[in-house]
Structure formats: C-alpha cells, structure tokens
Amino acid sequence: MQAFGKLLIVFGFVTIVLGVILLFFDKIPLIGKLPGDINIKKDNFQFYFPITSSLVLSIIISLILWLVSLISRK
C-alpha cells in the first residue's frame, strides 16, 4: 500500500508539472518551431505537423516514465 501512495504522489507531481507547462506553452522557446516541423501556409489553408517536436517530447516523456519506474522498483 505504501508503494501505491508513492506512485500517486509521483503522478500528482507529473500532472502539476504538465499543467504548468501547458499554462506557459506559448512562452517556451523552440517548442513547435524546431527544424523538421512541417508548416504549410496557402491562401485559405494552413497545415502544421510538428514531427521533430513530437519526437523530442516523446523522448522526454519516456525518460520521465523510466525514472518513475526505476524509483518505484526500490
């Protein structure tokens, strides 16, 4: 039961951090503006696909989850 409590604390902390990031998302430099992000603008059409930003965020989230699993094993 103690491990479950620690896990809930970690998930709560991650949720708070993600909430703060989303609040200040517009002010974070380079997110969505990395080389490799596709942005096509035409007259009445705009297409945006953040490939590189998605890969970077995926790596960061994977590292965070790996650290959480490492901590929860002990």
For residues 66 and 21, which has the higher predicted lDDT (pLDDT)? 66
pLDDT reported for residue 74: 67
Domain positions in the chain are: 2-73
Residue 44: predicted pLDDT? 92
Q: Check: CB of residue 10 under 8 Å from CB of residue 72.
A: yes
Q: What is the pLDDT of residue 63?
A: 93
* Alpha-carbon span 2 to 26, nearest angstrom: 38
The whole-model pTM stands at: 0.56
- The 10s digit of each residue's pLDDT in 12-60 is 988 998 888 778 766 666 666 788 888 889 999 999 888 888 898 899 8
Please say whether the dihedral angle defined by the alpha carbons of residues 41, 42, 46 and 51, taken in this order, is positive or negative: negative
